[in-house]
Amino acid sequence: MIIIAEKLNGSIPSCGKAIAARDEEYIKDLAKRQADAGADFIDCCASVENGETETLKWMIDAIQSVTDCPISVDSPDVSAIIDAMQYCKKPGLFNSVSCEGNKLELAFPILAKPENKDWHVMALLCGDDGIPKTAAERIEIFEKIMAEAKRHGIEDKRIHIDPLVEMLCTKEDGEGVSLILEVMGHIKKTHPNVHISGAISNVSYNLPARRLINQAFTVLTINAGMTSVVLDPLSADLRGMILATEALLGNDDYCLEYIGAYREGLFA
Amino acid sequence: MIIIAEKLNGSIPSCGKAIAARDEEYIKDLAKRQADAGADFIDCCASVENGETETLKWMIDAIQSVTDCPISVDSPDVSAIIDAMQYCKKPGLFNSVSCEGNKLELAFPILAKPENKDWHVMALLCGDDGIPKTAAERIEIFEKIMAEAKRHGIEDKRIHIDPLVEMLCTKEDGEGVSLILEVMGHIKKTHPNVHISGAISNVSYNLPARRLINQAFTVLTINAGMTSVVLDPLSADLRGMILATEALLGNDDYCLEYIGAYREGLFA
């Protein structure tokens, strides 16, 4: 499971404040703790109205001063990501593209360059009309993204697909999360080397005891093929639940990884 | 989800001691607390070498003095269950039969009697050679049990099938719990009105942080079709996880049951 650590994001109020105040210690502390907790990428999202590239550079520098964990450069503005990539000392995650506007046309030629061949890319299954309401429409967008990636020679294993997890509390028609699980199932079947990803905590928005919904959803999505996830790596129960699920699904012989992580104190 | 509350079992050391000492308060207290926590059946297993029927009667009387929750009369000895059934004031769960020896021949004619028509029955997927190693063999036993039930006019909706959850820690071949999930999938497909059940905590035997393994396994089994479960209803996280999973799978419009249970303090 590839862990994309979510806590350095300017849209989180405490982090937004730290960014506005250029509180480097705040960034360094969370970067270090998330890396120590086993993050594979540290997400870095400025979420500022002006000076995004400069802000991203400041955050990236702070992160890289305490850890060599790869960075997920996160912005709705593809050009800002392209600008900020140059500040990363090692290949990271281009987060994100989608079928909205000219994002693919801007991003994929950059990602196709030989010097960027080890960068991963997160692709959201949405387009100019926002988030599609049906699984079929999201699968159509997925196929379009994959066709473009192929055209640019970007290998499946570099691509993370976020089928766009929505909040459960507004579902009324007995559907639950079946749409997401269906899209994940399609991706797993047709492109087994693509990483199926998602920001799982979106599912529990506005519900009580969110950790239980998040944990149960994580189990269902791993079962459906999820191999990459945006989460808080400091949440011990969630990390433990992921390892427990991998063991239950037969991906951890004799539960050695699960037991090892327990012994290391990853969860209790 | 049908909850079979597991704590009144003589094979649990503290309960075995209470039974040996005829500590009626111990039985009453756990019966009451499990019923209050939402148990649908209170399991009652004496686990004594001698005087099983008398012990079951004493336990059943104690339970019935504090709650009218139906009782799961639990014994490896079908004759002891048949004897003890008469002490139950209302129909309960006959726990259990299997294809071992003459269990079906003894139990099914009793369960087929008009006066017992509201009793449920738990059937374990094992036979004279113990627990089968393959899903195919367990499915064969399942089909045999269902054929016998049909011959006796015992409806599917009265039948709970325990496919026999085994401990995960000894699995080495990348199988995980796929055997159980496969058997559950077969039952759901071929007999949708049968209750798929199981003692989930068996899966985590000998592993650390058992609650995480149990919770993740519960999500996977509900997803595979489980509608009845043997568990500790006093475990708030596990109960919350079940409700979270039902909501995620689209069985709880607007998450109203989940939110209601949270407000009632079932989990936090």
Test A244 with B220 for CB contact under 8 angstroms: no
In DSSP terms, A43 is beta-bridged to: A72
| Sheet-wide strand order for A71-74 | A195-196, A159-162, A120-127, A93-99, A71-74, A41-45, A2-5, A228-231
Give yes or no for a contact between B145 and B151, defined as CB atoms under 8 angstroms apart: no
Please state at what angle helix A103-111 crosses helix A135-151, rounded to 10 degrees.
40
Sequence-ordered alpha helix ranges (H) in chain B = 13-20, 24-36, 52-64, 78-85, 103-111, 135-151, 178-190, 210-224, 236-248, 256-263
Test A174 with B258 for CB contact under 8 angstroms: no
| b/e map B219-244, b = 16+ CB within 10 Å | bbbbbbbbbbbbbbbebbbbbbbbbb
Interface of A with B in 172-231 (CB under 8 A): 172-178, 203, 207-209, 212-213, 215-217, 219-220, 223
- CA atoms of B98 and B160, how far apart (whole Å): 11
Give yes or no for a contact between B34 and B234, defined as CB atoms under 8 angstroms apart: yes
Q: How far apart are the first and last CA of chain B?
A: 20
Q: How much of chain A, in percent, has pLDDT values that exceed 90?
A: 96
Q: 3-state SS string over chain A?
A: CEEEECCCECCCHHHHHHHHCCCHHHHHHHHHHHHHCCCCEEEEECCCCCCHHHHHHHHHHHHHCCCCCCEEEECCCHHHHHHHHCCCCCCCEEEEEEECCCHHHHHHHHHCCHHHCCCEEEEEEEECCECCCCHHHHHHHHHHHHHHHHHCCCCHHHEEEECCCCCHHHCCCCCCCHHHHHHHHHHHHHCCCCEECCEHHHHHCCCCCHHHHHHHHHHHHHHHCECEEEECCCCHHHHHHHHHHHHHCCCCHHHHHHHHHHHCCCCC
Give yes or no for a contact between A257 and B174, defined as CB atoms under 8 angstroms apart: no
Test A212 with B237 for CB contact under 8 angstroms: yes
Closest partner residue to B168 (CB to CB) among A220, A247, A267 is A247
Q: Model confidence over A74-115: pLDDT tens digits?
A: 999 999 999 999 999 999 999 999 999 999 999 999 999 999
- CA atoms of A156 and A150, how far apart (whole Å): 8
- CA atoms of A227 and B26, how far apart (whole Å): 47
ipTM computed for the complex: 0.93
Q: Using CB atoms within 10 Å of the CB of residue B57, give its burial: 0 to 12 exposed, 13 to 18 middle, 19+ buried.
A: middle
At A86 the pLDDT is 97
Closest partner residue to B209 (CB to CB) among A175, A250, A268 is A268
Phi, psi of A53 (to 5 degrees): -60, -45
Closest partner residue to B169 (CB to CB) among A176, A249, A255 is A255
Test B209 with A249 for CB contact under 8 angstroms: no
The conformation of residue B91, written as its DSSP 8-state character, comes to: -
> Does residue B258 sit at the A interface (CB-CB below 8 Å)?
yes
Phi, psi of B69 (to 5 degrees): -65, 135
> Does residue B256 sit at the A interface (CB-CB below 8 Å)?
no
All residues of chain A having their beta carbon less than 8 Å from the beta carbon of residue B170 are: 254
Q: How much of chain A, in percent, has pLDDT values that exceed 70?
A: 100
CA angle A252, A255, A257 (to 5 degrees): 70
Prediction pTM value: 0.94
- CA atoms of A157 and A149, how far apart (whole Å): 11
All residues of chain A having their beta carbon less than 8 Å from the beta carbon of residue B169 are: 254-255
Does residue A171 surpass a pLDDT of 90?
no
At A174 the pLDDT is 77
> Does residue A20 sit at the B interface (CB-CB below 8 Å)?
no
Confidence bin at A173 (pLDDT 50/70/90): confident
The whole-number mean pLDDT for each consecutive block of 10 residues of chain B, a chain of 268 residues, reads 97 97 98 96 97 98 98 98 98 98 98 98 97 96 98 98 94 85 97 97 95 97 97 93 96 93 92
At A45 the pLDDT is 98
Which residue in chain B has the smallest CA separation from A175? B250
> How many angstroms separate the Cα of A39 from the Cα of each of A90, A162, B227?
15, 18, 36
All residues of chain B having their beta carbon less than 8 Å from the beta carbon of residue A209 are: 240, 244, 262, 267-268
The tokens for A75 are 């912005």
Residue type at B52 in one-letter notation: E
Q: Compute the mean pLDDT over every residue in chain A, rounded to the nearest whole number.
A: 96
What number is the average pLDDT over the span A15-31?
A: 98
